[in-house]
Amino acid sequence: MILAGQRNDVLDVLPAFDVFALPSRYQGLPTAIVEAMICGVPVIATAVNAVPDLVIPGEAGVLAPPRRPDLLAAALRHLLDSPDLAAAARAWVGDRYNEFALREALTAAYRPPASAVRASR
């Protein structure tokens, strides 16, 4: 295990990973998972908050319950023995989370609904 600290070249480094693990107890929008998937790295993560929206077991990685290191370890072993999951994760991500898609989603989230715009006129 290497704790590399802050990196500005994440997308260059990630393809060298065998597995990407994110054992969070809480997680907002897990962009690090998207980055790993885009690079074709299989993902193991804890099933917290928005993580299950990205990591679809068997399609885009493996989920483990939080605070269960034994199950996380078993999932890591499974991923290391199943390199086909990396390709599946990359295919699942596709263009869902590219720069354009994320910009559109954020713009839509902050844009007032059409009914609010009409009411203010």
Per-residue pLDDT tens digits of the chain, which is 121 residues long: 778 888 899 889 998 888 899 999 998 878 888 888 888 888 899 999 989 988 888 777 889 999 999 999 998 888 888 777 767 766 777 777 677 877 787 788 788 777 655 666 6
What are φ and ψ of residue 96, in 5° steps? Answer: -60, -35
Q: What pLDDT score was predicted for residue 41?
A: 83
Assign residue 59 a region: left if phi > 0, alpha if psi is -120 to 50, beta otherwise?
alpha
Q: What is the CATH number of domain 10-94?
A: 3.40.50.2000
Residue 61, SS3? coil
pLDDT of residue 119: 60
pLDDT at 115: 65
How many Å is the maximal CA-CA distance in the chain? 60
